[in-house]
């Protein structure tokens, strides 16, 4: 069984402030997910044929390369001194 401390830690990692009610509810939900995954692990796949891709990856769609006509800086939102200005990184 998953403990409330583990749920609190997951909430902290996710930057979520969880109430005590949410912690209990999420613990029960995670237990149900783990039970289902354990059930899936018990299924034998030895008699199942693997799925084969019927088409080659290159046949899925045609790549049409079209060169860009124009100046990139003209259509960019944030321009500064001949460059595209990106978001500030901390």
Q: How far apart are CA 71 and CA 87, in angstroms?
A: 21
Taking the domains of the chain in order of start, what are their residue ranges?
4-41
Q: How far apart are CA 85 and CA 68, in angstroms?
A: 20
26: which 2 tokens? 């999420």
The gap from C-alpha 29 to its chain's centroid, in whole angstroms, comes to 20
**pTM confidence score:** 0.51
Architecture (CATH level 2) of domain 4-41: Orthogonal Bundle (1.10)
| Cβ neighbours, 10 Å, residue 8 | 16
Instruction: Write out the chain's pLDDT in tens, 90 residues.
Output: 889 999 999 999 999 999 999 999 999 999 999 999 999 999 998 888 888 777 777 777 777 888 888 787 777 888 888 888 888 887
């Amino acid at each position: 069984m998953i403990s409330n401390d583990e749920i609190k830690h997951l909430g902290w990692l996710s930057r979520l402030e969880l109430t005590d009610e949410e912690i209990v509810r999420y613990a029960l939900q995670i237990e149900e997910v783990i039970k289902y995954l354990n059930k899936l692990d018990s299924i034998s796949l030895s008699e199942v044929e693997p799925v084969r891709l019927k088409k080659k990856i290159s046949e899925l769609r045609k790549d049409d390369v079209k060169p860009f006509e124009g100046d990139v800086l003209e259509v960019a939102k944030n321009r500064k001194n001949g460059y595209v200005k990106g978001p500030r990184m901390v």
